[in-house]
Amino acid sequence: MTTASHTMQGLASAKDLFALTKPRVMSLVIFTALCGLLAAPGSIHPVIGFTAILAISLGAGASAALNQWYESDIDAVMKRTSERPLPAGRMDRETALHFGVGLSVFSVLLMGVAVNWFSAIFLAFSIFFYAVVYTIWLKRSTPQNIVIGGAAGAFPPAIGWAAVTGDVTLMPVLLFAIIFFWTPPHFWALALFMNSDYSKAGVPMMPVVAGRQSTRNQIFGYSLVLAAIAIAPFALGLTGLVYGVAAIVLSVVFCALSVSVARSKTTVPEDMVAEKRLFKFSILYLFVLFAAVVADRMIVA
């Protein structure tokens, strides 16, 4: 590589810096954080509420940048991730690290100064959890990586809630638990039809380590736990009928799709229709369920 191209790498384009924040993942973070914020009792000034969501989004972007900084070697051998700025050679690792650390510090300070320090510490912990506990420690060492690491993605609604109330009660814990137990069936469905990518990269994803059938059975098991947790806010009287009906209908469909996955025997990724259907539905499931939390709260209010 010439010095000139090194220089260009050192001056990454704004587009690549933006790509480093995993904008598609961020959209889910923004949405769940916003739902947590809107579902919380009490009120928050729109400017402060906007700042809280901005800080959570920047924190999520920072975690994603640090994740890509550390995982550039894995990303380079996986088809799905090989075009990211670092493995594609459009940015150097130092730039990604500086961007990630800088954005982390800024997001936490913004949350602390503008919103409250409880949610700022919460946000700092979530960045640490994703960047260090999940990315550096768990991902390469255990097939339980995304089970425990899923907690990182589950923090945003609880942080959004904490931005309004300054504390955490049972409802945000349940919102956290919904995403926590949603993550394994969501990611393992993806890992089943992306199996070759993960094995090539040496990432101990469940299908690589325990095999496809065991993963399919675990997807079904987690779907049952997820259904119980998703219905819990209604069963405990924390939400109304709107959320209750949505949670029951969505969870029944989710469980039905995970039964099809558990029954599937195919080993060819192209034929994994049930897995692909569950993966797509899981995204819709989370969006509609969290929208129902907000709709329910609005109706009650």
Partner 1 sequence: MSEIDESKAPMSSEEQKAYQARQKHRSVILAGILGFMVVLFYLITFVKIGSSS
Q: How far is the CB of 124 from partner 1 (least distance, A)?
A: 20
Determine the size of the site formed for partner 1 (CB under 8 A): 15
Is 45 a residue that touches partner 1 (CB under 8 A)?
Answer: yes
Judged on CB neighbours under 10 Å (0-12, 13-18, 19+), 184 is buried
Is 48 a residue that touches partner 1 (CB under 8 A)?
Answer: yes
CB closer to partner 1, 4 vs 268: 4
CB closer to partner 1, 11 vs 268: 11
Q: How far is the CB of 301 from partner 1 (least distance, A)?
A: 21
CA dist 224 and 89 (Å) reads 43
Residues near 24 by beta carbon (within 8 Å), at least 6 away in sequence: none
Q: How far is the CB of 241 from partner 1 (least distance, A)?
A: 35
Is 43 a residue that touches partner 1 (CB under 8 A)?
Answer: no
Is 3 a residue that touches partner 1 (CB under 8 A)?
Answer: yes
CA dist 242 and 293 (Å) reads 8
Is 21 a residue that touches partner 1 (CB under 8 A)?
Answer: no
Contact with partner 1 (CB under 8 A): which of 76, 88, 101, 114?
114
Tokens of 280: 């797509």
Is 301 a residue that touches partner 1 (CB under 8 A)?
Answer: no
Q: How far is the CB of 202 from partner 1 (least distance, A)?
A: 35
Residue numbers at the binding site for partner 1 (CB under 8 A): 2-4, 7-8, 11, 13-14, 45, 47-48, 51, 54, 113-114
